[in-house]
Structure formats: structure tokens, C-alpha cells
Chain A
């Protein structure tokens, strides 16, 4: 099993550009989440999904969109990148609300 995979590993964007961060899992987990990790702030939840076709907002959803058309994939879209979105982004999956999460390797995003 590959677990949770994320692409790309690194990305540099200019302000105003859009892009999609890819996330896939092969564990047949229903729950998938996107986090951002900033120095001194810890992990903060952006959006999450409890199953295909179902998404909801986390703590810091502004500027990001998600969709979940399959159990395996959960892409994160940045609509118009801003320097404040410079961060490390992690995707995670879990078999349920009260179970542990499995994280991907992360995407380091820089917006100039």
C-alpha cells in the first residue's frame, strides 16, 4: 500500500495564480482532510470530507476549494494564490471520526 500520496512536493506560485494540490489514498478510508502547517501555529484544518460527494469547512477554509468525487482522491484548489497561503500542506485520511489519521508527505508552497 502506498498510503497517502501528495503531489507536487514543492511549488512556487505568483500572487493571483491558481493551482490544485493532489491527494490520493489507497486504504479505502472514508474521512479525508487538508491541513496547513505554519511555524508556531501547529496544524490547522482547511477542509474535510466524510465520504465521496460530502465536504465541509474546517478552521481556515477561505481561499480554498475542495471536491470529493471518489473515495480515493481529495484535491485542494487554490483559487487566487496570496502570500498568506505560503505554507506546508498536508493531506490525511482516516477510517472514521474517532480514529487516527494517516498523513501524506506534504506539499511546500511558496507564493511570491
Chain B
């Protein structure tokens, strides 16, 4: 069974304090790993797609990386507006279309 585990469940940072969120996966035939941001009361918003080990993507203060077992979302010098829940999801090469989501990391950045 495909599994996606995100850690930590919650993270509190001071503004400017860099850190990383982890998404580890146990799947066969990974075809893509996705990072989303979800603000309270809203739907998830797409951030990045990673397709192969070694790939990196950047957007403002966020950088996503991928290895054969896990992905990291690095947040450099975060600001309070980066506070949100960050979700990762994987899709495999199986016949059906059932993306597997992790439970998310709730990030709070204090000013």
C-alpha cells in the first residue's frame, strides 16, 4: 500500500528562521510528487511538481527537492504570510488515478 508521511505535524518558527519540511514516501513506481499550500478555510493551492530524484524547484522563499525516498520543502527566511498547512502528494504509474496525500505540516511563522 502506498504511504506518504509528513513531518513534523506542526512547526513554529520565528520570522527569518529557516527550516525544512519532510515528505517521505513508500510507493512503487513514483511518477510525480506534488507540494501544495493550504490556508485555513480554503482549498489547496499548487506549489511544485517533482518528477525525478535530484530534481529541485524554487519559488520565492520556497525550494523543493526530491530523493528516491523523500522530498524536502525548504523555507528560507520565512515571513508570517508563509503560515499555512503544507501538503505533499504522490502519483504512481499504476492503472488507476488515486493520488496519495500526506496529512500535512502546519507551519506558523511568528513576527
Contacts and interface: CB of A to CB of B under 8 A. Distances in A.
B50 to A, nearest CB: 11
Q: How many residues of B sit at the interface, in one of the four size bands?
A: 20 to 34
Contacts of B32: 98-99
A58 interface: yes
A24 B91 CA distance: 23
B101 A42 contact: yes
A56 B103 contact: no
A81 interface: no
A103 B97 contact: no
Contacts, number: 54
A105 B42 contact: yes
B44 A90 contact: yes
A31 B103 contact: no
Contact of A40 (B42, B43, B97, B103): B103
A102 B104 CA distance: 17
A106 B104 CA distance: 17
B91 A97 contact: yes
Interface stretch (A14-22, A43-51, A65-73): A43-51
Given A90-B43, A99-B49, A103-B44, A41 B103 contact: yes
Q: How many residues of A sit at the interface, in one of the four size bands?
A: 20 to 34
Given A98-B31, A98-B32, A100-B34, A105 B43 contact: yes
A101 B42 contact: no
A103 B45 contact: yes
Interface of A: 4, 31, 33, 40-45, 48, 50, 56, 58-59, 90, 92, 97-106
Given A4-B43, A42-B103, 19 more contacts: A33-B97, A41-B103, A42-B104, A48-B98, A56-B97, A58-B98, A90-B43, A92-B43, A100-B34, A101-B34, A101-B44, A102-B46, A103-B44, A103-B45, A104-B43, A105-B42, A105-B43, A106-B42, A106-B43
